[in-house]
Structure 1
Amino acid sequence: MLKSVLKYLFSTLLAASLLYWAFAASHLEWEDIYRTFLQANYRWVSVAIIISLLSHWLRALRWEQLLESLSYQPGQLRTLSAVLIGYFANFIVPRMGEVSRCGSLQKTADIPFEKSFGTVITERIIDLLGLVGIVGITFLVEWKPIQAFLFPHTETPPLSLIAGLIVIALIGLITLWFTKDFILAKWEVLSKSSKVGQILSGWIDGIISIKGVKKPGLFLLYTAAIWLAYFLNAYTLLLAFNSTENLGLAAGLSILVMGTFGMATPTQGGIGAYHSLVASTLVLYQIDIKEATALATFFHGTQMATILLFGGISFILTLFLPKKINRVNS
């Protein structure tokens, strides 16, 4: 209990410190934020919110495919509510989103927590691969401004270092291959003889659920559509302001990448880190630092308001949803 309290206090202090630093470094005042909210084109903001909700729905559809491969069919309403509750929880307690969404499905759809959590791990791995791809595209499209701003003195690593890392990786893979039978035997004993082993076994069942996805092409389509929706959300918010409406698609891509990194920090909803990273990115496109920080605050505030509203509604809804016994082939 004390450890959880200390972690929460740390994340809160970190968020407050990063936010204060972002505001102080840009000399941003509340009047600047208020003026930014008045200047926004709320038609584009409304479109951005709709796109954001669409991305959450697409994520729920993709998650359903993983759950279905384990013979569970919670239904779109329960799955979407769980996704929104997860995002809602992240704005309250960092890293609680995954736990909350799995707990929600355990309550409303009778899906074992450890198995749904395993599918969430799979989702995170897929998302990480998608982010790596988006970062690669962004660096190719916008390498010069990014390199000048973030890595002004970067040099290509020596070939000896690259070769050494490749050799180490190969040795590790070869070692795993020759010891796989021993590892599997030990794992079988552990998974049957201890509670921890059973929990880990459930996680692994969830993680490898991707092997049983019935329509892998549709799964990949959902994944691409999720990232496209994230990009369109970022780009549409740029269209909501006169100073950023002409920055172009590449700027939207840069905002998406840096905003994603900001949201991944161990603070409530990426507070502070998102503001700093997105503001710094806007500076690359000749936006004054004060205005850039105000815009980043608006972008983050829009996302936060959307999640808190619809996540809160979803939480209330789950209180009244009857538990669905949904195992298919049971």
Structure 2
Amino acid sequence: MKLNLKQWVQVALSMIVAIWIFWFLYKDISFESLRKSVSETSFLLLMSSIFVSLIGFWLRAWRWTLLLDAEEPYKTPSIRAFWALMVGYLTNLLVPRAGELARCGVLAKTDGLQMGKLFGTVILERTVDLLFLVFTIFLAFVIERNLFLELFSELVSVEALVEKVTQYLPLLIGGLLVMAIFFYFAFLKYRESNIFKKLRHFTRDLVKGIISIRQVRNQSGFWGSSFAIWMIYYVTLVLVAWAIPSTANLSLSSLLMVMVMGSIGMVAPVQGGIGTFHALVAFILMAYGLSEEEGKIFAVIVHSSQVLTVLILGLVSLGFILKITSKKVSKTF
């Protein structure tokens, strides 16, 4: 994926922010404390968490093929989808949120699929994942309601929030109306131009990808795998928590809250959730009685194990993809 100068500046700034947050969080943590915690960590449970996460990656790739193959005679190989997915995760470590575009580009090259449809299926996937995240947050709220309300009251002033929404809502509505009018007249004027024709074609493929959920032949497989993916996220976190002595006695409900905070941290527009994941996970663990150092060390262990897994699998997958594409290029000569 080629980046222009502006995009490289954005990547650099995002990386600087991520590194600064990480440094600020861990500047007071001694290397000896981290080394001791790692030495006390159960290697068997940590490796078990990585193995479980690999199952989650494969399920995500398989679920993607269910959307790609809806109403299509061609069957996308699950292994190709898996390689594309891991290349996407690898890309996210460099360019935040670019992994979704990267994995679409991989399958577009290897299998000749339409970029618009690929991107549409990714949007649909992310929408489904968002629904499961909202459900997980709601479940955590029901189970850990008292702590949830206590933390919310400490972080957010409800009165100030309502005042800001009331103050800026008319401005937001007016801005959306102006944008809608602008795009409407621009469409009328340039609808026969080549750019708009390409945009309409891409949009048609995009919509086709988004609504592909209705044509999925294996509906139970799609929704079952979606549920399993989020269960695997939770099981992975639980196994790491059990592997570390300082978190081994945390309740399953408290670990659900840790999962929620970690998932929110991963949404932040920084490479691989670096810094934001660690900050939110350490914050919630401190609410459960762990020291600041213990919370931060847990966050760095669970995050590092996943990043190393993605790095290794991403590079291996990239090698397979480059081999496939090079063979296609050589056949054209």
TM-score by length of 2: 0.84
Mapped to 1, the partners of 2:231 and 2:113 lie a distance apart of 30
- Superposition pairs of residues 261-276 of structure 1, within 5 angstroms: 261-276=264-279
1:117 aligns with 2:119: yes
Mapped to 2, the partners of 1:93 and 1:127 lie a distance apart of 21
Residue pair 1:36, 1:298 contacting (<8 A) in 2 also = no
**Structure 2 match to 1:146:** 148
Mapped to 1, the partners of 2:57 and 2:149 lie a distance apart of 32
Greater relative CO (CA pairs within 8 A, separation 6+)? 1
Residue pair 2:86, 2:310 contacting (<8 A) in 1 also = yes
Q: Which secondary structure state, in structure 1, belongs to the residue aligned with residue 89 of structure 2?
A: helix
> How far is the alpha carbon of 1:153 from its aligned partner?
7.5
**Structure 1 match to 2:59:** 58
Identity of aligned residues (%): 32
Query: What stretches of structure 1 of length at least 5 have no aligned partner?
Result: 172-181, 326-330
Mapped to 1, the partners of 2:327 and 2:210 lie a distance apart of 23
Residue 66 of structure 1 aligns to which amino acid in structure 2? L
- Superposition pairs of residues 91-240 of structure 1, within 5 angstroms: 91-152=93-154, 194-240=197-243
Of 78, 83, 97 in structure 1, the residue corresponding to residue 85 of structure 2 is: 83
Mapped to 2, the partners of 1:90 and 1:9 lie a distance apart of 13
Structure 1 residues 123 and 153, CA gap change in structure 2 (3 angstroms) = closer
**Structure 2 match to 1:320:** 323
**Structure 1 match to 2:47:** 46
Structure 1 residues 34 and 132, CA gap change in structure 2 (3 angstroms) = same
**Structure 2 match to 1:37:** 38
Residue pair 2:11, 2:94 contacting (<8 A) in 1 also = no
Structure 1 residues 190 and 305, CA gap change in structure 2 (3 angstroms) = farther
Residue 43 of structure 2 aligns to which amino acid in structure 1? Y
Mapped to 2, the partners of 1:66 and 1:191 lie a distance apart of 32
Question: What is the total number of aligned residue pairs between the two structures?
Answer: 308
Residue 280 of structure 1 aligns to which amino acid in structure 2? F
> How far is the alpha carbon of 1:13 from its aligned partner?
1.2
TM-score by length of 1: 0.85
Mapped to 2, the partners of 1:4 and 1:229 lie a distance apart of 34
Q: Which secondary structure state, in structure 2, belongs to the residue aligned with residue 266 of structure 1?
A: coil
Residue pair 1:70, 1:206 contacting (<8 A) in 2 also = no
> How far is the alpha carbon of 1:146 from its aligned partner?
2.7
What's the C-alpha RMSD, in Å, of the aligned pairs?
Answer: 3.1
Query: What stretches of structure 2 of length at least 5 have no aligned partner?
Result: 174-183, 329-333
Mapped to 2, the partners of 1:80 and 1:2 lie a distance apart of 31
Residue 200 of structure 1 aligns to which amino acid in structure 2? T
> How far is the alpha carbon of 1:90 from its aligned partner?
0.5
Q: Which secondary structure state, in structure 2, belongs to the residue aligned with residue 79 of structure 1?
A: helix
Could you tell which deviates more after superposition, 197-206 or 77-86? 197-206
Q: Which secondary structure state, in structure 2, belongs to the residue aligned with residue 152 of structure 1?
A: helix
Mapped to 1, the partners of 2:141 and 2:224 lie a distance apart of 23
Mapped to 2, the partners of 1:320 and 1:6 lie a distance apart of 31
Residue pair 1:190, 1:197 contacting (<8 A) in 2 also = no
Residue 77 of structure 2 aligns to which amino acid in structure 1? G
> How far is the alpha carbon of 1:50 from its aligned partner?
0.7
> How far is the alpha carbon of 1:29 from its aligned partner?
2.2
- Superposition pairs of residues 235-246 of structure 1, within 5 angstroms: 235-246=238-249
Structure 1 residues 147 and 324, CA gap change in structure 2 (3 angstroms) = farther
Q: In the TM superposition, what whole-angstrom CA distance separates every residue of 1:52-95 from its partner, at most 9, and x where no partner exists?
A: 11111111111011001151422111011111111111112111
Structure 1 residues 190 and 282, CA gap change in structure 2 (3 angstroms) = farther
> How far is the alpha carbon of 1:156 from its aligned partner?
7.1
> How far is the alpha carbon of 1:149 from its aligned partner?
2.7
Mapped to 2, the partners of 1:238 and 1:147 lie a distance apart of 24
Residue pair 2:65, 2:76 contacting (<8 A) in 1 also = yes
Structure 1 residues 306 and 191, CA gap change in structure 2 (3 angstroms) = farther
Residue pair 1:67, 1:116 contacting (<8 A) in 2 also = yes
> How far is the alpha carbon of 1:152 from its aligned partner?
3.2
Structure 1 residues 32 and 83, CA gap change in structure 2 (3 angstroms) = same
Residue pair 2:265, 2:276 contacting (<8 A) in 1 also = yes
Q: Which secondary structure state, in structure 1, belongs to the residue aligned with residue 65 of structure 2?
A: helix
Residue pair 1:108, 1:323 contacting (<8 A) in 2 also = no
Residue pair 2:246, 2:294 contacting (<8 A) in 1 also = no
Mapped to 1, the partners of 2:94 and 2:12 lie a distance apart of 12
Structure 1 residues 125 and 291, CA gap change in structure 2 (3 angstroms) = same
> How far is the alpha carbon of 1:147 from its aligned partner?
2.4
Structure 1 residues 153 and 318, CA gap change in structure 2 (3 angstroms) = closer
**Structure 2 match to 1:295:** 298
Residue pair 1:117, 1:203 contacting (<8 A) in 2 also = yes
